[in-house]
Each structure stands twice: as structure tokens, then as C-alpha cells.
């Protein structure tokens, strides 16, 4: 109707007013702040502030941030081997990377790092804190650790090393193949395929009775590697879908024919440190009933970040979609629930250790409704082995209860008598 303003025009006018307000603040800070500050610093701060009002995974990337991001996917660096985040201004350990200086020094998931060489970290940005941990290989750094359940902070001396980001390791235990995936970087799928072939050769004969795929403390990585790793265990079907703001904007990824394991039993181990690409693999194999998922609920990062170049040395890391498992589940903020909950009984601090998940992060995205499979209730008696103490497990020679339980489960499955149909 004439005389009525269209909603789009009203929105544009509101946007122009807000931009005018921004420019007014910019000019006042530029002219009156107690110290001179460059226009570039003010603009970068404004961009960072804008992105920080979104979800915790959207951010502004400088040239230094680009270099750090490349290290996480295909590089090596001098450092300690920690995956950390910022929690209420403090550095919080999500997980140490296996067989790195931090891991060997006994730093645990759930620890807080308060000082580096007696310098307080509280209030620093995460990038600033990480930069202080990295450095020349062979140099030593003193970390002050606050561990929930302990009354006093304590210091740990850690010597920096070249952190060679090897994403896949494998071994055999009896007739069981164990594939440990530490991250999803460029060579991960190739490494898992090589691990399957190596396990088959090492065991010989008919090969292993089954495989344990260990995704614990795996923070994720490249989507295409998660898809390719999952494809190694599937013959067909959807692996994951991405859905953006537009309901019609859906990308689907499918398995190709050929299960490299020949359909043998698979157990996937997850915990609170299993995130993103790890959850894609676990969720797809769980939905297709291709694997039994064991351990603890995963981290719950079900969002997709896109890198958008904005200048010669800068870019946006922007959350542009959520991903969904084949049955339509969004794991965002909820995570993957294991089919069989297996606590890590060999960890003496497990009851006091805080478990940071996506739902604990400020401004995390909420999950969108999806189609979910029914959850079968297990009304059987609890496994008596879950009552064992860390000391009892150590005496029995069990260093990793979750892995031990998975291996035993596969061996028990192999010992079950086969059902033989009889004609009447």
C-alpha cells in the first residue's frame, strides 16, 4: 500500500544508523584515546569484536593465524603437543597429543595452565598463550598447572620438541587390530588404509577378528579426510550432510563401494576430546550399524567453518553450516552418545577432571532438530569390571581400561558359537 515502508527499507535505514554510530565511536576513540592508536588496530579490533559476538569458532585470521592453521593440518613445529582453549580467561587443556612432551610430562585433559615461566597467562588471548608455548626445539619451559581435585598448583618442566603431526598409528593385540587416529590432516585416510593393510599382514591368515578405531582426544580436522576414512569401512550410503542457512542448501557426501576391512567387526572409541571430524566418523559408522561406539560422550562440535579471504594477509573463519549424521542427527552441542558407556577407570583423577564440551562454550550454536533413531535401553546388570579401582587395574597390568575393554569385547565376539540353522 502507498505510504507504508517496506520491511527491507526499514532494515536498511536501521543498518545505516548503526554504521553511523560505529563511525562516530571510531572517530572519538581515534581523536581522544589517552594514547595514539593506529587506524588499522582499531579496525582490526572492531572486526574481531564483531566476530566474537557470533559462535566461538568464527574468528578473524591474520597472517600469523594462517601459519598456525597450516601447522594443524600439514606441518610440524617446535612446541609441547597440547590442544587447548580459553575458558573464562584461563588456558584449559582439552587434550595432550599422544607421545609428545606434554603427554610424557603427565599433563592431562582438564588441567588449567596458569603460568608459563612464572608469567601469568590469565587475560591473554588464546593465540598469545599458544605462541608462548611454542618455541625453539630443545628449550625448556615451566608450566604451572592447576588440576581439579588437587589442593595446590604444581609446576611441570617440559622440553619443546619438533611436533611431527603423524595422524595415524597402529598396532596389534592378539588377533585385534588397533588404529589410533590422532587428527584428520591431509594424509589421514591414506594412513588408515595403510594401517588396515599392515594389520592384516602382521596377523596373517584370515587377518584380525576385528578393529578398534581409537578417536579419543582427536580434535578433528579436514572434512574430506573424515569422509574418506569413513568410506574405508562402508560399502554404500550417506556419510554426512552439510546444511547452511538456506534449507535448500544441502551438500551430501556418500560412501563408494568397497569395505577395506571386509565387513569385520569395528569398535570406535570416543571421549570428550573427540570433536568435529571425529564425530562425523563415529556418527556415520554408528548410524549405519557398522561399528559399536564405546567410551564417553564426544565434544559436540557439529558446525562447519569456511575460510574466506578478505585481504592479502587476512581472512575470516566463518561458521557457515551445521553437519548431520546419516540419520539426520545434529551433534552440535550434544555430541555422539556411545552405544556402550565405558568410563576410563584407569585414570585416578577422572571423577575430579572437568570435561569441557561445545555446550560449555559461550555463544555456542544450538542444535537444530533432526531425525533421530530410537535409543535402546540396556536393563542388564552393570559390568562388574566397572567397579575396579585404578590401583587394581594397574596391578592387573591394565594401563588403558577403555582400550582393554574394547579389545576384550572383540575377542568375546569371536569366541561366541556360530548359530547353525537346521532343516525340519
What separation in angstroms does the CA of 215 have from each of 58, 218, 389, 403?
Answer: 25, 5, 24, 11
Q: Which three cell numbers stand for residue 384?
A: 562388574
What residues are labeled active site?
A: 276, 287, 301
pLDDT on residue 372 = 39
pLDDT on residue 76 = 56
- Pick the closest to residue 183 from 212, 221, 216 (CA basis): 221
pLDDT on residue 349 = 82
Q: How far is CA 409 from the centre of its chain?
A: 26
Domain 168-303+319-414 sits in CATH at 3.90.226.10
Q: How far is CA 30 from the centre of its chain?
A: 41
Residue whose C-alpha cell is 592447576: 146
pLDDT on residue 421 = 39
pLDDT tens profile 14-23: 899 999 999 9
Q: How far is CA 290 from the centre of its chain?
A: 21
Contacts of 156 (CB under 8 A, 6+ apart): 105, 106, 107, 142, 143, 145
pLDDT on residue 348 = 85
| Distance from C-alpha of 319 to C-alpha of 305, rounded to nearest angstrom | 4
| Distance from C-alpha of 304 to C-alpha of 298, rounded to nearest angstrom | 17
pLDDT on residue 378 = 38
Q: Which three cell numbers stand for residue 320?
A: 557457515
pLDDT on residue 280 = 97
Distance in Å from the first CA to the final CA of the chain: 81
| Distance from C-alpha of 35 to C-alpha of 28, rounded to nearest angstrom | 13
Give the residues of the chain that fall short of pLDDT 70. 1-8, 66-77, 359-360, 362, 367-385, 416-424
Contact predicate 196/261, CB 8 Å = yes
The partner residues of 212 in beta bridges, in order of sequence, read: 178, 267
Percent of the chain with pLDDT over 90: 56
Contact predicate 158/143, CB 8 Å = yes
User: How many helices (H) and strands (E) are present in the chain, helices listed first?
Assistant: 10, 19
CB-facing half-sphere around the CA of 292: CA atoms within 13 A: 18
Torsion of CA 290, 293, 220, 335, to 10 degrees: 120
pLDDT on residue 6 = 54
DSSP, collapsed to helix, strand or coil, labels residue 47 as helix
Contacts of 73 (CB under 8 A, 6+ apart): 185, 186, 221, 222
**Fold observed for domain 77-164:** Pdz3 Domain (2.30.42)
Which string of DSSP letters, residue by residue, matches 13-36? HHHHHHHHHHHHHHHHHHHHSSS-
Instruction: Give me the residue spans of the domains in the chain.
Output: 7-56, 77-164, 168-303+319-414
- SS3 percent helix, strand, coil of the chain, rounded to 5, is 30, 25, 45
Amino acid at each position: 500500500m502507498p505510504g507504508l515502508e517496506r520491511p527491507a527499507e526499514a532494515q536498511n535505514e536501521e543498518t545505516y544508523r548503526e554504521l553511523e554510530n560505529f563511525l562516530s565511536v571510531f572517530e572519538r576513540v581515534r581523536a581522544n584515546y589517552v594514547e595514539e592508536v593506529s587506524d588499522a588496530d582499531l579496525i582490526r579490533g572492531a572486526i574481531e569484536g564483531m566476530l566474537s559476538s557470533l559462535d566461538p569458532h568464527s574468528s578473524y585470521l591474520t597472517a600469523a593465524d594462517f601459519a598456525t592453521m597450516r601447522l594443524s593440518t600439514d606441518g610440524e613445529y617446535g612446541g609441547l603437543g597440547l590442544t587447548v582453549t580459553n575458558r573464562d580467561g584461563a588456558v584449559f587443556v582439552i587434550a595432550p597429543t599422544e607421545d609428545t612432551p606434554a603427554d610424557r610430562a603427565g599433563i592431562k585433559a582438564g588441567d588449567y595452565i596458569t603460568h608459563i615461566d612464572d608469567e601469568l597467562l590469565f587475560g591473554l588471548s588464546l593465540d598469545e598463550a599458544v605462541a608462548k608455548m611454542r618455541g625453539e626445539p630443545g628449550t625448556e619451559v615451566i608450566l604451572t598447572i592447576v588440576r581439579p581435585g588437587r589442593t595446590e598448583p604444581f609446576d611441570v618442566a617440559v622440553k619443546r620438541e619438533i611436533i611431527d603431526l603423524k595422524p595415524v598409528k597402529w598396532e596389534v593385540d592378539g588377533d585385534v587390530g588397533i588404529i589410533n587416529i590422532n587428527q584428520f590432516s591431509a594424509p589421514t585416510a591414506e594412513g588408515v588404509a595403510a594401517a588396515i593393510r599392515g594389520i592384516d599382514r602382521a596377523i596373517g591368515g584370515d587377518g584380525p577378528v576385528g578393529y578398534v578405531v581409537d578417536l579419543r582426544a582427536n580434535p578433528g580436522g579436514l572434512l574430506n579426510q573424515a569422509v574418506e576414512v569413513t568410506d574405508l569401512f562402508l560399502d554404500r550410503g550417506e556419510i554426512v550432510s552439510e546444511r547452511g542457512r538456506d534449507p535448500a542448501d544441502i551438500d551430501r557426501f556418500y560412501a563408494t563401494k568397497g569395505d577395506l576391512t571386509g565387513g569385520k567387526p569395528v569398535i570406535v572409541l570416543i571421549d570428550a576430546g573427540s570433536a568435529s571430524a571425529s564425530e562425523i566418523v563415529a556418527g556415520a559408522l554408528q548410524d549405519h550399524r557398522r561399528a559399536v561406539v564405546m567410551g564417553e560422550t564426544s565434544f559436540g562440535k557439529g558446525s562447519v567453518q569456511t575460510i574466506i579471504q578478505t585481504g592479502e594477509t587476512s581472512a575470516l573463519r566463518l561458521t557457515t553450516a551445521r553437519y548431520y549424521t546419516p540419520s539426520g542427527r545434529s551433534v552440535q552441542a550434544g555430541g555422539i552418545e556411545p552405544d556402550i558407556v565405558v568410563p576410563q577407570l584407569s585414570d585416578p583423577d577422572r571423577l575430579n577432571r572437568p570435561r569441557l564440551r561445545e555446550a560449555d562454550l559461550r555463544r555456542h550454536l544450538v542444535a537444530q532438530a533432526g531425525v533421530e533413531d530410537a535409543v535402546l535401553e540396556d536393563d542388564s546388570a552393570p559390568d562388574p569390571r566397572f567397579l575396579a579401582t585404578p590401583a587394581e587395574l594397574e596391578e592387573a597390568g591394565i594401563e588403558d581400561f577403555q582400550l582393554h575393554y574394547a579389545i576384550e569385547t572383540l575377542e568375546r565376539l569371536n569366541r561366541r558359537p556360530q548359530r547353525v540353522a537346521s532343516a525340519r
